[in-house]
Structure formats: structure tokens, C-alpha cells
């Protein structure tokens, strides 16, 4: 098992290096940091601008291969991922925003996964009953609703709740309030108030998608020969579902969840933008619009590392759930 994981890890590291290097050349060719200063008033002195670009390793007068080598040596020997055209350190941006996204995405993903799997199993064993039909309609509505619409509806409902109770139960702008009351635990309470709504949106999205997948997988396994054999040997329906059907149906879900967590870090752009969370998702868009070559490369590397970790986690989960993989 350990050798298998190590072998896969080496393959992922090689692929990650190739992908990040390719991103550097692509970003250097497509993004023009000089354009950020073209409309400045008063105009920036060309000599000062070129000196700035050289200092940040963004000058177009320097060969892209030389810039790549400078960037690569800085990353490998100094863990310096460079600076944006405006002088911001990429290391600081990634490290600060990473924990913001982790706080938001991880909670929503975990809660959504648990709810999605539970509801998927529940609806599968009650196929075509009233509960299954009602939940199917609700999930179809959720899946067909754009994230931006779902977030706006959640904001409206939260506003109505706050007005009805006369208390600011839910906050949905930013990560913290400007003025936090002075009592023990006030900062934590304020953080939870700001977490509720974006976490709810991510939870609904994750639970809706996974519940449909889990339901379909459970229906396939419930009709399998080994489940019918288990029932014929005297197991109750709940025992057959728990010991045999669910374990098999969880294998694809384990792979899906392992990959969904890394992708949601950079994919929660709409949620982070609407709720004013300065996370990795919003930073991904900002690096492109602000012509930040080094920021784009760093985000790609960060995403690649998360996807590699997700792939390794997927291998471990599948090995734990499927004895055939362990034997192989």
C-alpha cells in the first residue's frame, strides 16, 4: 500500500511540475502587466516602469526563459513565488487567503457531504415514495438554480429573519464586523454569524449533487445479486444496506469527495465574491484581471497540489473501501 501511494505521488509531482511550468510560459505570453500603468494619470515614467518590471521579474525586455529560470530558482531555494505588478508579495496573498477559503470551503463541503450521502441512501431505500418524490423535486430545483441566484435568495431570507427577530442573527458581508461587542467569545460569535450564509450555500450545492449521485449508486447496488443473496441468508433490509450495498456505493462517492474539496477552493468564486470573502477563489480571478503573472502561476501550483492530494486521498479511500484494490 505504501509503495503504491509513493509511486503515485512521484507521478503526480512530475505532472505538477510540468503543468506549473507550462502555466508560467502561458501567463507570461498572454498577460501584459505594462497595461496596468498605461492609463495612469499622471503617466508613469517609462524608465521607472521598466526598472520596476525588472525588479519584479516581469520585464518583456528579458527573455521569457531567463525570467522562468529566475522564478524557478527563487521558488526552489528561497520559496519566493514572486510579486505582482503592483508590488504585492504572492506568498502573503496565498497564505492569507488559503486559511480564509479553508474555513469557508471545508465546513460547507464536510456538512454537504454528510447530508448528501445520508439523503441519497434514505431516498434510494424509499424509491418512488412520497419522501423520495418531494426531495427529488427540491434537488432538481437546487441543481438548476445558478449559485448567484441561490446566494441572493439566501441573503433576502436572512434579511427577513433579522428584521422579524429584531436581532442581527446572520451577517453576510465580509468575514468580520467593523465593531465587535466587548464580551467573552464575541469574536467567535461574530465569525459564526458571517459563516452561516456562505456555508449554507456551499452545503446546499454539495448536498444536492452528492445526494443524486448516491441515490443512483445505491439503487444499482440494491438490485445486485450479492445484496439479494444477503437478504436470502436472513439479513434484514437495513443490515443488507449497511453491510453490503452502502459500502460498494460509497466507492465512487469517496473519489468524488476527495476531488471536490480541492476544486472548491478555487471554484467558490461566486460565493466568495457575493459575500465579500477574500479567499483563493476570488484571488484567482483577481490575478487574471490584474495581469499578475506570478499570482496566476502560484494559484495554479496551489490548485495542482490540492488536486494531487485529492488524488492520493482518493486512492487511499478506494483501497479502504474496496478489498479488490488492496489485493491488487
Q: Which residue has the cell 477559503?
A: 101
Look at residue 47 and tell me if it is in a domain. Answer: no
pLDDT digit string (tens) for the chain, length 328 residues: 667 677 878 888 899 999 999 999 999 999 999 998 888 888 888 899 999 999 999 999 999 999 999 999 999 999 999 999 999 999 999 988 888 888 888 888 889 889 998 998 888 888 888 988 998 899 888 888 888 888 889 889 988 988 888 888 888 777 777 777 777 778 888 888 888 888 888 889 888 988 888 888 888 888 777 777 877 877 777 777 777 777 778 778 877 777 777 767 766 777 888 888 888 888 888 899 999 999 999 999 998 888 888 878 777 777 776 666 554 5
Q: Is 197 in contact with 275 (CB distance < 8 Å)? A: yes
Q: Which residue in 204, 195, 106 sits closest to 146, CA to CA?
A: 204
Look at residue 239 and tell me if it is in a domain. Answer: yes
Look at residue 125 and tell me if it is in a domain. Answer: yes
Look at residue 263 and tell me if it is in a domain. Answer: yes
Give the burial string for 53-78 (b: 16+ CB within 10 Å, else e): beebbbbeeeeeeebbeebeeebeee
Dist CA 220 CA 248 (whole Å): 10
Q: Which residue in 13, 12, 28 sits closest to 70, CA to CA?
A: 28
Dist CA 296 CA 283 (whole Å): 9
pTM listed for this prediction: 0.79
The Cβ of residue 23 has, within 10 Å, a number of other Cβ atoms equal to: 19
Q: Is 266 in contact with 272 (CB distance < 8 Å)? A: no
> What residues make up the domain containing 320?
95-149+203-327
Which cell numbers in the block locate residue 91? 506568498
Q: What is the CATH number of the domain that holds 145?
A: 1.10.3720.10
Structural domains counted in the chain: 1
Look at residue 131 and tell me if it is in a domain. Answer: yes
Q: Which residue has the cell 462517492?
A: 253
Q: Which residues contact 138 (CB under 8 A, 6 or more apart)?
A: none
Look at residue 64 and tell me if it is in a domain. Answer: no
Q: Give the CA angle between residues 58, 60, 62 to the nearest 5°.
A: 85
Amino acid at each position: 500500500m505504501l509503495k503504491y501511494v509513493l509511486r503515485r505521488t512521484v507521478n503526480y509531482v512530475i505532472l505538477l511540475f510540468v503543468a506549473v511550468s507550462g502555466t508560467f510560459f502561458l501567463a507570461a505570453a498572454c498577460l501584459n502587466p505594462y497595461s496596468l500603468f498605461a492609463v495612469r494619470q499622471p503617466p508613469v515614467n517609462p524608465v521607472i516602469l521598466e526598472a520596476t518590471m525588472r525588479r519584479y521579474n516581469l520585464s518583456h525586455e528579458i527573455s521569457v526563459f531567463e525570467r522562468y529560470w529566475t522564478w524557478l530558482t527563487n521558488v526552489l531555494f528561497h520559496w519566493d513565488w514572486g510579486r505582482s505588478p503592483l508590488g504585492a508579495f504572492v506568498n502573503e496573498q496565498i497564505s492569507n487567503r488559503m486559511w480564509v477559503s479553508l474555513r469557508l470551503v471545508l465546513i460547507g463541503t464536510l456538512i454537504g457531504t454528510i447530508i448528501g450521502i445520508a439523503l441519497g441512501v434514505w431516498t434510494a431505500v424509499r424509491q418512488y415514495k412520497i419522501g423520495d418524490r418531494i426531495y427529488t423535486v427540491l434537488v432538481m430545483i437546487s441543481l438548476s438554480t445558478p449559485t448567484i441566484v441561490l446566494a441572493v435568495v439566501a441573503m433576502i431570507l436572512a434579511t427577513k429573519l433579522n428584521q422579524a427577530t429584531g436581532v442581527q442573527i446572520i451577517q453576510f458581508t465580509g468575514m468580520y464586523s467593523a465593531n465587535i461587542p466587548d464580551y467573552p467569545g464575541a469574536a467567535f460569535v461574530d465569525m459564526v454569524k458571517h459563516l452561516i450564509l456562505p456555508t449554507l450555500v456551499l452545503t446546499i450545492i454539495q448536498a444536492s449533487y452528492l445526494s443524486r449521485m448516491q441515490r443512483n449508486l445505491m439503487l444499482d447496488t440494491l438490485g445486485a445479486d450479492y445484496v439479494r443473496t444477503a437478504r436470502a441468508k436472513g439479513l434484514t433490509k437495513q443490515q443488507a444496506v449497511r453491510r453490503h450495498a452502502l459500502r460498494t456505493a460509497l466507492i465512487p462517492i469517496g473519489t468524488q469527495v476527495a476531488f471536490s474539496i480541492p476544486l472548491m477552493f478555487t471554484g467558490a468564486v461566486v460565493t466568495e465574491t457575493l459575500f465579500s470573502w477574500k479567499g483563493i477563489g476570488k484571488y484567482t480571478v483577481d490575478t487574471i484581471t490584474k495581469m499578475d503573472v506570478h499570482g496566476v502561476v502560484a494559484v495554479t501550483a496551489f490548485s495542482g497540489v490540492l488536486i494531487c492530494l485529492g488524488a492520493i486521498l482518493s486512492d487511499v479511500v478506494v483501497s479502504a473501501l474496496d478489498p479488490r484494490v488492496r489485493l491488487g
